[in-house]
Amino acid sequence: MSEHSEEIGGSGYSLEDLSAYLDRGRTPRIPAIERNAECQAILASMERMGRLSREIVEEQAAEPLAESWYDSIMREVMREFRAGRDIPLSRADDGTEIVVTEGALYELIRTVGDGVEGLLVGRVRLNQPEAGSALEVRVTVSVRFGRAMTVAVEEMRTGIRAAIEHHGDLKVGRVDVTVGDVHMDEGEVE
């Protein structure tokens, strides 16, 4: 790992190391990466970004993508997938506290978005005004041209609430899903 690179999730590997690992097809297997939840979340995001980048390149083959586009997306991914603050789930009688990191919740929300037809997740924001209060979620998405936005947004909103309450055992308050863009599917003509 480069001495100037930031280590991901205590794994001993940087973002650059994870990118190279993914480029090699995740071979040879590196247990420290494969067992680290934060590394796994970043690898999943990189794979998702790779698919999205290839789709955009195919759609707009005549227009070269600015390098800054990819850099800005990767900065957002890194910001989101740092473990972030711990959000308390429960406290046992002996004082032991069970927590979930913001990074884990970001990945959970992105996974929900992957399951909604014609929807791509952009920015995700979480807010819990005070410990024990309801979690507020704000998500910006892109909806495929021709897909009913209200239906896609409601599927996303319902999916986020269900996933967090089921997997995170948290109380979910407001869930705002904003359509910030419309995209074309691969092979469609604008």
Q: Is the pLDDT of residue 109 over 80?
A: yes
Predicted local confidence at residue 122, as pLDDT:
84
Q: What is the pLDDT of residues 62-95, one digit of tens each?
A: 555 456 655 666 666 665 555 567 777 766 678 7
Strands (E), the chain: 86-91, 97-101, 119-127, 135-144, 172-183
Amino acid identity, residue 43?
L
Please report the domains of the chain, with CATH numbers, ordered by start residue. Answer: 1-82 (no CATH), 83-190 (3.30.70.1350)
Question: At residue 26, does pLDDT exceed 50?
Answer: yes
pLDDT per position as a tens digit, 128-180: 888 778 889 999 998 989 999 999 999 999 999 999 888 766 889 999 999 98
Structure tokens at 179: 């359509």
Q: What is the pTM of this model?
A: 0.57
